[in-house]
C-alpha cells in the first residue's frame, strides 16, 4: 500500500486545485497539456489495474472513474458558457439584425459598437462576434453589397476570441438556432478561400459609417 506524508498530500491537492482553476482562463497550450496529462494518467491507471495482481489493484480501479470525470470536464465547456454565448447572440440580434435588411454597413457598425463595450475576450464578446458573422454571411448569400467583406471581418474577429477561450465550433454554433453542420462547413470554406476584394466605394462607405475600431 502506498503511504503519503501529510506534506506530500497537501502539495498534491494544491497542484490539482491550481490545474483545475486554471481552466477558467486557460491558454491553448495549458489546456492541451492538462488534457494530455489526464489522458496519460487515465491510460496508465487502466493498464495497471488490469495487469497488476498485487495490493495496488485495490486502489487503482476506483481511481479510474474520477480521472475519467476530470478528463470529460476538461474537454467540455461549462454549461454557463453555452448560456452566455446564446444570450450574447440574442442581445446582438435584438439591437442590430433589423439593420442588415436595408444596410450592411449600418449592421456592421452596430455590431462593432457592441464590441467596443465588451473589450475583453469573454463569451459575451464571442457570441456577439459570431452573430455578426452569421448575419453577414446570410446576407452575402442573397447578394447584399458589402456582406462578404463584413462576414470575413467578423470571421477573423470571432476566430481570435474563440481561440483564446478554447471553445469548439460545435458549442459556438449551438448559440444560434439552425443547421450547425452547414454553418460550420461554410465557416471552414470561407477560411480556406482568399479574402474578398473590397470595392473602394465600400471602404469609403464603411469609413463613413464608422464601423472600424
86-124 pLDDT tens trace: 999 999 999 999 998 888 899 999 999 999 999 999 999
Neighbouring C-alpha atoms within 13 Å toward the C-beta of 183: 22
Locate 112 and state its grid cell: 462593432
pLDDT at 181: 94
pLDDT at 180: 93
pLDDT at residue 31 greater than cutoff 90: no
Angle at which helix 57-75 crosses helix 28-51, to 10 degrees, equals: 150
Compare 24 and 18 and report the one with higher pLDDT.
Answer: 18
pTM value is 0.63
Compare 62 and 32 and report the one with higher pLDDT.
Answer: 32
pLDDT at residue 33 greater than cutoff 80: no
* CA dihedral sign of residues 80, 83, 85, 88: negative
Task: Specify whether the CB–CB gap between 104 and 201 falls below 8 A.
Answer: no
Task: Specify whether the CB–CB gap between 171 and 85 falls below 8 A.
Answer: yes
pLDDT at 143: 83
> Which of the four pLDDT bands, split at 50, 70 and 90, describes residue 39?
confident
143-180 pLDDT tens trace: 888 899 999 999 999 999 999 999 999 999 999 999 99
Give the residue among 98, 184, 91 at the shortest CA–CA distance from 134: 184
With 0-12 / 13-18 / 19 or more C-beta atoms within 10 angstroms meaning exposed / middle / buried, residue 71 is middle
> pLDDT over 90 for what percent of the chain?
45
Domain chopping of the chain, boundaries: 6-75, 79-209
Amino acid at each position: 500500500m502506498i503511504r503519503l506524508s501529510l506534506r506530500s498530500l497537501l502539495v498534491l491537492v494544491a497542484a490539482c486545485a491550481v490545474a483545475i482553476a486554471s481552466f477558467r482562463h486557460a491558454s491553448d497550450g495549458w489546456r492541451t497539456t492538462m488534457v494530455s496529462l489526464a489522458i496519460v494518467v487515465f491510460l496508465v491507471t487502466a493498464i495497471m489495474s488490469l495487469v497488476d495482481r498485487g495490493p495496488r489493484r485495490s486502489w487503482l480501479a476506483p481511481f479510474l472513474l474520477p480521472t475519467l470525470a476530470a478528463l470529460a470536464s476538461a474537454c467540455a465547456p461549462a454549461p454557463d458558457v453555452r448560456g452566455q454565448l446564446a444570450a450574447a447572440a440574442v442581445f446582438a440580434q435584438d439591437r442590430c439584425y433589423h439593420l442588415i435588411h436595408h444596410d450592411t454597413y449600418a449592421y456592421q457598425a452596430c455590431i462593432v459598437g457592441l464590441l467596443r463595450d465588451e473589450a475583453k475576450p469573454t463569451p459575451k464578446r464571442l457570441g456577439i462576434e459570431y452573430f455578426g458573422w452569421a448575419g453577414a454571411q446570410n446576407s452575402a448569400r442573397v447578394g447584399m453589397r458589402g456582406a462578404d467583406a463584413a462576414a470575413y471581418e467578423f470571421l477573423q474577429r470571432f476566430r481570435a476570441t474563440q481561440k483564446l477561450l478554447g471553445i469548439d465550433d460545435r458549442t459556438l454554433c449551438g448559440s444560434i438556432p439552425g443547421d450547425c453542420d452547414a454553418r460550420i462547413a461554410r465557416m471552414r470554406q470561407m477560411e480556406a478561400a482568399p479574402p474578398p476584394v473590397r470595392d473602394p466605394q465600400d471602404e469609403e462607405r464603411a469609413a463613413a459609417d464608422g464601423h472600424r475600431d
